[in-house]
A and B are shown apart, each in its own frame.
Chain A
């Protein structure tokens, strides 16, 4: 007994070190999506408040840029309005309007953003109160941003394209061949596109858009352009994409609500 006590006394610092390390590693090991969401839930109350205060200044500093982006978007919307008004008389309008009603966009702001990690996350300043729920798509005016992971009443976290866990079905705009988009953990400007078969003809600067196969994103939202591609052994291309979305300067984003999502998913479940 005495030798044990002496041992503990002699190595007390080392034992404390071991104990603390073990606690830290347990924290890491338990970092499942569920745990993460619980921890985030707690600290979002604190950090969400802090970040939204601090963001006031950041927003102010980028006013000029935001303004010009808004002006551009306004012009584009006005153009579309013009086109729709021209269409209003024809019978085509019925299907146009029905499509439009499938999706609704919730405008939100990014209040916390990381781009330099392997598992990056965004925090948005809207949550369940404004109809933002898990598995909704997030886009900016530049292109696809990510998918909503967890939500609380006033906040939501998003897995962006630049997270090693992110996967999305996308397709070539020109030929409609679909592949899987994922990130390789290196630069936030580029991502990889896999599973495009070798017989498809590719060109640099071809545009990649969402495939619309899942109920998360509508068909045809822009993702990026082909930067380079190689055909290594096997039957698939290795394609490097230049992403449209500038994750470092992300500020205003839209969350996509799909009104027919449940219907689509229920039907698909039944079919399986």
Chain B
């Protein structure tokens, strides 16, 4: 029960922080760090897959509601939740993940977390930005936006590990 209330609280905080603070941070005019992915990134390793998927769906829906973009963030975040186990197993250390540990800098080190975050954010942003333009025209200019925004989001997420979620 405690875990559920804590996660609902965290969910609400992440969405509000994204919409009220991060959406007002605009580097270079049109780049926004999407920090709300943290919620999916930091879920414990052994979380059942369907819970990750449903959380991804609700998280995306929550962001969409505030950004007036029905479906876009939802689709991208559900995709992110789906590929998470594959990315985790891709990056798994030789003996697998230990019990009682979480996907955080504190347990698996800076490089591991950076790789994990970059891959995850890249998947999400690829889906998000191409869904937004919904065409393959200007393929390269969209790609450059994906890459720049991914770097921005990933570095914000990694930084947050040192200030907010220290343990």
Q: Taking beta carbons and an 8 Å cutoff, which residues of A are in contact with B?
A: 12-13, 16-17, 20-21, 23-31, 35-36, 39-40, 43, 46-47, 50, 54, 58, 114-119, 121, 157, 185-189, 248
B17-60 at interface with A (beta carbon < 8 Å): 19-20, 23-24, 26, 29-32, 49-50, 53-54, 56-57, 60
Can you give 26 contacting A-B residue pairs, CB < 8 Å? Answer: A12-B50, A13-B50, A16-B50, A17-B78, A20-B53, A20-B57, A20-B74, A21-B75, A24-B74, A25-B71, A27-B64, A29-B71, A39-B65, A40-B68, A43-B65, A43-B66, A47-B19, A58-B24, A114-B23, A115-B26, A116-B29, A116-B32, A121-B68, A187-B30, A188-B30, A189-B29
Chain A min CB distance to B93 (Å): 24
Chain B min CB distance to A250 (Å): 12
A-B pairs with lowest CB-CB distance, top 10 = A116-B30, A27-B71, A28-B71, A24-B75, A24-B74, A13-B49, A27-B70, A17-B82, A20-B78, A24-B71
List, in ascending order, chain A residues with CB within 8 A of B88's CB.
none
Size of interface on B: residues with Cβ below 8 Å to A: 36
B72 within 8 A of A: yes
Residues 67-88 of chain B, each 1 if its beta carbon lies under 8 Å from chain A, else 0? 1111110110011011000000
Chain B interface, >50% SS class: helix
List, in ascending order, chain B residues with CB within 8 A of A30's CB.
70
Q: Taking beta carbons and an 8 Å cutoff, which residues of B are in contact with A?
A: 19-20, 23-24, 26, 29-32, 49-50, 53-54, 56-57, 60, 64-72, 74-75, 78-79, 81-82, 131-133, 138, 141
Cα of A25 to Cα of B71 in the assembled complex, Å: 6
Chain A min CB distance to B58 (Å): 10
List, in ascending order, chain A residues with CB within 8 A of B65's CB.
39, 43, 46-47
List, in ascending order, chain A residues with CB within 8 A of B71's CB.
24-29, 31
Interface pair A115/B29, CB less than 8 Å apart: yes
